[in-house]
Chain A
Amino acid sequence: MNEIYMDHAATTPVRQEVVEAMLPFFGSEYGNPSSVYGWGRRSRQALDQARDKVSELIGAEASEIIFTSGGSEGANLAIKGVAWAYQTKGKHIVSSAVEHHAVLDSVLWLKKQGFEVTIVPVDEEGMVSPAEVEKALRPDTILVSIMHANNEVGTIQPIKEIAEVVRGHGAFFHTDAVQTAGVLDINVAELGVDLLSLSAHKLYGPKGVGALYVRKGVRLDPLIHGGAQERRRRAGTENVAGIVGLAKALELAHLDRDEENARLVKLRDRLLEGLQQIPHTKINGSLVHRLPNNVNVCFQYIEGESMLLNLDLRGIAASSGSACTSGSLDPSHVLLAMGLTHEIAHGSLRLTLGRDNNEADIDFVLQEIPVIVERLREMSPLYQR
């Protein structure tokens, strides 16, 4: 059976060039970057080059990059690290209702530690308004964390405007750019952010590696104590191969970003248009401020997991925000924050496109989905023809 992968927001395949760039560091170049001899020096050099490249691509200085184990660690380090370092200055943190759990749960954990938290709401498109952020700010606010683009519905937040508001109040601003790195411009000066986290496996790099940008002058308490790596902000022998892979993947993404985005937008819109032909279908998220690869719809009267199983039987890999797929049995907090009912959120389907998808894939999916939806609706006690 032909398999079609349409879950690129979950993870992406590692590009061949990236694999090749990484391979030497699993083989002959196994030195510890902290060692003084040749092996160590060569690993150190690879690490330095990767740091230079990543910092250059996001408009930062090399010393402002901390390599991490991925997006989750980046968010945890940014949020807990700043909160701990500045808790004498204030104990109030602001975030949004649609953040990834890496951010949301970090913030909620701090709340248990005695910090105060304000979660700003979103509109029906999942958008955070700078005015709402401004309303939430207090004299003791030390940190604001708002994601660049949402991983479920693809809504792109007005980060520049929010950053301006936050800067005016003297708080620090972190953005989770895991879904936008390699896709949108994440120049940190342009965006006006103090901290930014990204993850390699969402941009055709390896899993388990990422980077956190921390603007010079922003203090941070480490999560991991030990050696002096990463300027004492993240102990542990560096994941040299992974970091080399991250830098290579980000570099490659930047080479043809505009062409690839234009191609994806065309495919995305073809898919959205086709799905809209199915009755009782709702498109989630903004149609204007939307990631080029994101399609998120709700089919009324059916449940997401049974949709996914049917798609899988047809070789199509996708995801859902349904309660039944979440493990926690609550539907997606993102869809609920956008005002969808439990019942509608149940029927959500996310298809996220990538470099390996083409027009034929879209047409195949558009041929299969209406049949599956119809079949499940026939089985649904909520559906009246």
Chain B
Amino acid sequence: MYSDKVMDHFTNPRNVGEISDANGIGEVGNARCGDIMKLWIKVEDDVITDIKFKTFGCGAAIATSSVITEMAIGKTIDEAEQITNKQVAEELHGLPSVKMHCSNLAAEALVAAIEDYRKNVAANSAS
């Protein structure tokens, strides 16, 4: 039921793990199925220079996590923030319709990590 690209990212997920000196962390849960995704980003001069993920979820959730790390790396945070769940699904050559919601998880986790980064920056400049 999954495309070859989904299976490729599922079997060889890119950028799994954590970043010890991350300056943005996003964690989101999927209200519909109970899955959880956590994303670490390292931002330098507004550019995402490193990104890692950990996911507790289905094959599609793991594949979308993996592919969004590839899509986001090297982008500015403003650009990365614009990545939609539809683009994530397209990048994976489509997802079964019952699995479309899994791609929300990836897009939301990235936005959450960027928001966390912005909050951290604001807190640092305030002090």
Contacts and interface: CB of A to CB of B under 8 A. Distances in A.
Nearest to A308: B59
Interface stretch (B50-58, B72-80, B82-90): B50-58
B54 A380 contact: yes
A313 interface: yes
A343 B98 contact: no
Which of A323, A379, A380 has most chain B Cβ within 10 Å? A379
Interface in B5-21: 7, 10-11, 13, 16
A323 B29 CA distance: 14
Interface string A356-385: 000000000000000000000011111000
Interface string B37-80: 11000000000000000111111111000000000000000000
Contacts of A329: 32-33, 98, 101
Given A324-B57, A380-B54, A381-B27, A306 B62 contact: yes
A246 B106 CA distance: 49
A342 B37 contact: no
Chain B interface mostly helix, strand, loop or mixed?
Answer: mixed
A24 B1 CA distance: 37
Which secondary structure dominates chain A's binding surface? loop
Interface in A284-308: 301-303, 305-306
A74 interface: no
Contacts of B81: none
B10 A309 contact: yes
A225 to B, nearest CB: 35
A323 B34 contact: yes
Given A306-B10, A306-B62, A327-B98, A379 B55 contact: yes
Nearest to B101: A329
A349 to B, nearest CB: 14
B11 A313 contact: yes
A78 B16 CA distance: 52
Q: Which 8 A-B pairs have the closest CB atoms?
A: A324-B58, A381-B38, A381-B54, A305-B58, A323-B33, A329-B33, A380-B56, A309-B59
Interface of B: 2, 7, 10-11, 13, 16, 27, 32-38, 54-62, 98, 101-102
5 contacts: A302-B56, A324-B102, A379-B54, A380-B56, A381-B36
